[in-house]
Homo-oligomer: A and B are copies of this chain.
Amino acid sequence: MTGTERPSLVEQCRDNGWRITGQRRVILDVIEKTDDHPDVEELHRRIRGIDPGVNIATVYRTLNKLADENLIERHMFDDGRLRYEPAPDAHHDHFIDVETGEVIEFVSEDIERMQDEIARKHGFEIVSHKLEIYVKRRP
């Protein structure tokens, strides 16, 4: 018994009433294969590897639309460029290795819980949050 699979990005976009163009097919394909946190230029590079005709403005527009509908997740780490990943099944936060630039995901139920607690203590309700831990490999 495998769990119910999430519909493909193409299907989700169709459900949203978007037109499935050749460009979008390629862009969505590349995003679905993504297992890291590429910036727009890198995504465009991967997309051009399949269809060299896709303009970067189209990539930007499509990423924005997808992020607006929470079909992908947008990040901005300290290098100042937008990075993207497919919408994760469950929330996670990130280590960023300052020496290699590598991004590593982690989950800490404990930290999540304490955030709720401290927010409540201040009379707040959490809308979203971002925990980025910049790290070095321990010698």
Contact = CB atoms under 8 A, between A and B. Distances in A.
Interface residues of A, number: 34
Given A95-B119, A129-B131, A130-B130, A136 B124 contact: yes
Contacts of A138: 120, 123-125
- Chain A binding site: helix, strand, loop or mixed by DSSP? strand
Query: Within the oligomer, what is the number of copies of this chain?
Result: 2
A134 interface: yes
Contacts of A132: 129-130
B136 A125 contact: yes
Interface of A: 76, 78, 80, 95, 97-98, 104, 106, 108, 110-111, 114-115, 118-120, 122-139
